[in-house]
């Protein structure tokens, strides 16, 4: 599996987790009799919450894969910050 494919797979998993979190939130709200006016706003709020540091999650998953393949990663903080900007 090439580097680009690995990054793409990890990104899809991170995005999948975010979408699952949005869906779970909406299900809980509706089960309590509430209404969600905008799933997009829920998505943004979850993505921007401290618990959903997708850049860190993505980098950590990628780093594990690289190290497992006898590689090394560098510039952790910088890379995480850049990932958070694009996610």
Q: How many domains does the chain have?
A: 1
- Are the CB atoms for 14 and 52 separated by under 8 Å? no
Q: pTM of the predicted model, to two decimals?
A: 0.43
* Cβ contacts of 59 within 8 Å, gap of 6 or more: 73, 76, 79, 80, 83
pLDDT in tens, the chain (87 residues): 565 566 666 667 767 777 788 888 889 889 999 998 888 888 888 777 766 578 888 899 999 999 999 999 989 999 988 888 887
Domain that holds residue 26: 3-86
């Amino acid at each position: 599996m090439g580097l680009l494919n690995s990054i793409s797979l990890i990104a899809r998993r991170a995005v999948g987790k975010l979408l699952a979190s949005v869906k779970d939130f909406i299900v809980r709200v509706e089960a309590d009799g509430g209404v969600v006016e905008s799933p997009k706003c829920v998505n943004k709020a979850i993505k921007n919450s401290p618990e959903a540091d997708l850049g860190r999650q993505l980098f950590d998953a990628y780093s594990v894969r690289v190290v497992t393949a006898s590689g090394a990663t560098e510039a952790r903080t910088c890379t995480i910050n850049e990932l958070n900007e694009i996610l």
